[in-house]
């Protein structure tokens, strides 16, 4: 399940500075590069793909179908609140998952194959790999239990009491003699075909799967002709791209930028970010319900939320930690001379080119890839009450021949991770204010019989344009900031060190780009809705007669009434 790190004296000696004659024979680098091993890895990746596909299929009854169900069977005034609760509860899952992952990552990946004496690695060691797979087993069991109540759902969802009363009043008005005029839309002229009133969306509901696939392009084009629907979906694509990149790489970003452990990073995200997201979603639904916001009001709320999100995201460019000084890899103008290249003092050592066992010189705050690259020839372990501390001594490349500590150097600005994550959480809460209003813009902007299909098309675009490419784009941007790659089978495997300034600017900059795109789309939605409202008012004013015409029209009737009297 993970790389096995041996706890043997030979493994320790391989990292020390030893003469070529007495150095242990290096392990063949291509020992695990056979075709059968690569095929086994591809098989595991295929299993992960199948699992993700099944997970997506199983989530369809909740989103997108659950959204349409709630809007259809709940009262129109309660629908925003119910949708906000649905979205908020949905976000509780990732928050709990990050907390669970924080606990699981404190356990070593091979908990079933641990040696008797344990291993010498600590959770702060860069080579530590946590039990990432254990969370999948716990989550899968929980999902299986949560799916049991779905078997007891009725075939037809009962409508809410207030909604039934409202619809009965509407039917009473439309079925009354006054409502059945000559121009009533409920009546149909003799011989008029009902198929003329049905568009491709209505016809698609009664087709088979193969017939629906054939008519789907027409359905898609008809839905995309709605400007509000298209702009709202594009804004949600930008927000989902931001969320996909943040959810995938934020733990790694915090770990590398502020030099904290992966367990601590997941714990902070689960305790700060996701509760703020839940609060933002619920507050957005409550505001729509309390203020009785229409389409224009919902678009104003979305635009205001994105403007505030951009404002609180600006300080993130300036909160971070500088990169460590790595001997032979990084060099700063104020660094000691000779750090830009491997010192000549370790030329007599037979250091492995692919070795990684970082040590830190606390006096100069310089990090070395291995004790061998620091010229260290001996290792000392000091036992303490709670843990043991490993030192490497007789280091020819360290000034003053001081001992170096095992592990990466500690950072002096790790405390900045809390204010950084607070700003991220505040920005996420403000961005999530738009969640419920944007969905209502779609649900209220299409016909009732088209809601399910419109929401399905919306989620299709979110998956294709946001959740699939966004992690790839963020990962590629992060890879461009790497300054030292570890090689496996002659290919780049994992990045050991990043340029922290570039990492912060490109990661936050990409997030900023998506936020600006979402804000522009919401601004266009507001402009379109105002234009449509203005055109509707103009049309009403033209269709209704002016007061002079009303007087002229009423005069003949009045004279006839007077004559009859």
Token pair 């403007």 is at which residue?
A: 307
pLDDT at 182 over 60: no
pLDDT at 6 over 60: no
Verify cis geometry, omega within 30 degrees of 0, for the bond prior to 7. no
**CA dist., res. 101 & res. 112, Å (int):** 18
Confidence of residue 247 (pLDDT cuts 50, 70, 90): confident
| Angstrom distances, CA of residue 88 to CA of 97, 223, 519 | 15, 28, 22
| Angstrom distances, CA of residue 84 to CA of 66, 185, 431, 539 | 12, 34, 14, 35
Shortest CA distance to 67 belongs to which of 45, 40, 90? 90
**Strand residue runs (E) in 316-442:** 325-326, 359-361, 366-368, 378-383, 388-393, 404-406
- For residue 192, the model assigns a pLDDT of 41
pLDDT at 190 over 60: no
**Token output for 77:** 């005034």
Give the model confidence (pLDDT) of 326-369 as tens digits. 887 875 444 444 444 455 676 777 777 777 888 888 888 888 88
**CA dist., res. 458 & res. 439, Å (int):** 10
Confidence of residue 10 (pLDDT cuts 50, 70, 90): very low
373 or 26, higher pLDDT: 373
pLDDT at 97 over 70: yes
Give the model confidence (pLDDT) of 140-167 as tens digits. 888 888 888 878 877 776 665 655 555 5
Q: Checking DSSP bridges between strand 325-326 and strand 366-368, what pairing results, if any?
A: parallel
Give the model confidence (pLDDT) of 111-140 as tens digits. 777 666 666 676 776 677 778 888 888 888
Average pLDDT over residues 235-261: 91
Average pLDDT of the chain is 76
Confidence of residue 212 (pLDDT cuts 50, 70, 90): low
**CA dist., res. 160 & res. 534, Å (int):** 34
Give the model confidence (pLDDT) of 256-265 as tens digits. 999 888 888 8
Percentage of residues in the chain with pLDDT exceeding 90? Answer: 21
SS3 of 3-46: the string is CCCCCCHHHHHHCCCCCCCCCCCCCCCCCCCCHHHHHHHHHHHH
Confidence of residue 20 (pLDDT cuts 50, 70, 90): low
Give the model confidence (pLDDT) of 367-381 as tens digits. 888 888 888 888 888
pLDDT at 1 over 80: no
Shortest CA distance to 425 belongs to which of 106, 139, 91? 91
> Lowest mean pLDDT: which of 115-129, 178-192, 221-235, 244-258?
178-192
pTM: 0.73
Give the model confidence (pLDDT) of 530-543 as tens digits. 988 888 888 887 77
Residues 6+ apart with CB under 8 A from 527: none
**CA dist., res. 438 & res. 521, Å (int):** 11
CATH number assigned to the domain with residue range 74-151+220-321+414-529, chosen from the 4 options 1.20.1250.20, 3.40.50.720, 1.10.3720.10, 1.10.760.10: 1.20.1250.20
453 or 14, higher pLDDT: 453
Rounded-to-10 torsion of CA 45, 51, 53, 54: 160
Confidence of residue 207 (pLDDT cuts 50, 70, 90): low
> Lowest mean pLDDT: which of 66-75, 238-247, 419-428?
66-75
Range list of H helices, 196-340: 200-204, 209-224, 227-258, 262-268, 274-291, 295-313
**CA dist., res. 503 & res. 66, Å (int):** 39
- For residue 206, the model assigns a pLDDT of 57
- For residue 162, the model assigns a pLDDT of 56
């Amino acid at each position: 399940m993970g790389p096995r790190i041996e706890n043997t004296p030979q493994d320790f000696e391989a990292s020390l500075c030893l003469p070529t004659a007495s150095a242990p024979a290096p392990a063949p680098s291509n020992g695990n590069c056979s075709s059968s091993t690569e095929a086994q890895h591809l098989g595991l990746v295929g299993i992960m793909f199948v699992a993700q596909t099944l997970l997506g299929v199983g989530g369809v009854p909740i989103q997108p179908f659950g959204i349409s169900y709630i809007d259809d069977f709940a009262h129109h005034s309660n629908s925003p609140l119910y949708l906000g609760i649905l979205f908020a509860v949905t976000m509780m899952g990732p928050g709990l998952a990050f907390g669970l992952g924080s606990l699981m990552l404190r356990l070593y990946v091979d908990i079933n194959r641990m040696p008797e004496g344990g291993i010498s690695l600590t959770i702060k060691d860069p080579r530590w790999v946590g039990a990432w797979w254990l969370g999948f087993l716990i989550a899968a069991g929980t999902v299986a239990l949560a799916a049991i109540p779905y078997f007891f759902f009725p075939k037809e969802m009962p409508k809410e009491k207030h909604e039934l009363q409202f619809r009965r009043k509407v039917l009473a008005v439309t079925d009354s003699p006054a409502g059945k005029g000559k121009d009533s839309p409920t009546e149909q002229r003799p011989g008029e075909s009902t198929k003329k009133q049905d568009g491709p969306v209505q016809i698609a509901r009664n087709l088979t799967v193969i017939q629906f696939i054939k008519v789907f392009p027409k359905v898609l084009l008809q839905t995309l002709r709605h400007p509000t629907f298209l702009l709202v979906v594009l804004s949600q694509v930008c927000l989902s791209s931001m969320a996909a990149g943040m959810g995938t790489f934020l733990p790694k970003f915090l770990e590398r930028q502020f030099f904290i452990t992966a367990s601590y990073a997941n714990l902070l995200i689960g305790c700060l970010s996701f509760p703020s997201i839940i609060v933002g979603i619920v507050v957005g639904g409550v505001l729509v319900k309390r203020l009785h916001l229409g389409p224009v009001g919902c678009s104003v709320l979305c635009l205001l939320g994105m403007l505030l999100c951009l404002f609180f995201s600006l300080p993130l460019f300036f909160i971070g930690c500088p990169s460590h000084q790595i001997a032979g890899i990084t060099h700063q103008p104020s660094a000691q001379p000779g750090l830009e290249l491997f010192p000549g003092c370790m030329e007599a050592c037979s250091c492995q080119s692919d070795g990684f066992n970082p040590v830190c010189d606390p006096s100069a705050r310089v990090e070395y890839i291995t004790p061998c690259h620091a010229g260290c020839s001996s290792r000392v372990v000091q036992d303490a009450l709670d843990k043991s501390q490993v030192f490497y001594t007789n280091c020819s490349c360290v000034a003053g021949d001081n001992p170096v500590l095992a592990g990466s150097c500690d950072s002096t600005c790790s405390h900045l991770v809390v204010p950084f994550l607070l700003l991220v959480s505040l920005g996420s809460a403000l961005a999530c204010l738009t969640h419920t209003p944007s969905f209502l813009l779609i649900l209220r902007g299409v016909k009732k019989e088209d809601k399910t299909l419109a929401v399905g098309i919306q989620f299709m675009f979110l998956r294709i344009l946001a959740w699939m490419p966004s992690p790839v784009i963020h990962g590629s941007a992060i890879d461009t900031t790497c300054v030292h790659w570890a090689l496996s089978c002659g290919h780049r495997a994992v990045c050991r060190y990043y340029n922290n300034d570039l990492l912060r600017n490109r990661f936050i900059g990409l997030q900023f780009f998506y936020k600006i795109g979402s804000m522009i789309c919401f601004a266009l939605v507001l402009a379109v809705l105002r234009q449509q409202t203005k055109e509707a008012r103009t049309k009403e004013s033209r269709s209704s007669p002016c007061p002079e015409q009303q007087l002229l029209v009423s005069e003949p009737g009045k004279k006839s009434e007077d004559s009859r009297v």
